[in-house]
Amino acid sequence: MRALSLAPLMRGSVVDRLRRCGKPNCACATDPEARHGGRFLTVHLEGRTRALHVRPQDEERVRDAIAAYDRLWEIINELTACELSDLAREARERRRSRRRKDR
């Protein structure tokens, strides 16, 4: 669904992780320094942190989707600040109006 943006949107982070491959004969099974590197997308959804391996050819697309989400979130925060400011201004105006009527 792309109701909010023409660009893909995705919340998450791209992180580098070292891991064991699971092969018993691989050096990574016994030597922590020999663990395999990889890039992963991590995101917290439905109460769980999920991780997905990001292939090098997909990394730019994933990072662009995360950046688009971050930009949208900034816009939402700016709109929220404007709405709060408007509500506070309206409350001040109501108080002033009541004070004038009480005089």
In this structure, is residue 87 part of a structural domain? yes
Residue 4 clears pLDDT 70, i.e. is over it: no
Higher pLDDT, 81 or 97: 81
Strands (E), the chain: 13-19, 36-45, 48-53
Total tally of structural domains belonging to the chain: 1
In this structure, is residue 80 part of a structural domain? yes
In this structure, is residue 70 part of a structural domain? yes
Q: How far apart are CA 40 and CA 6, in angstroms?
A: 24
In this structure, is residue 8 part of a structural domain? no
In this structure, is residue 46 part of a structural domain? yes
In this structure, is residue 96 part of a structural domain? yes
pTM: 0.73
In this structure, is residue 4 part of a structural domain? no
Are 9 and 65 a contacting pair, CB within 8 Å?
A: yes
In this structure, is residue 53 part of a structural domain? yes
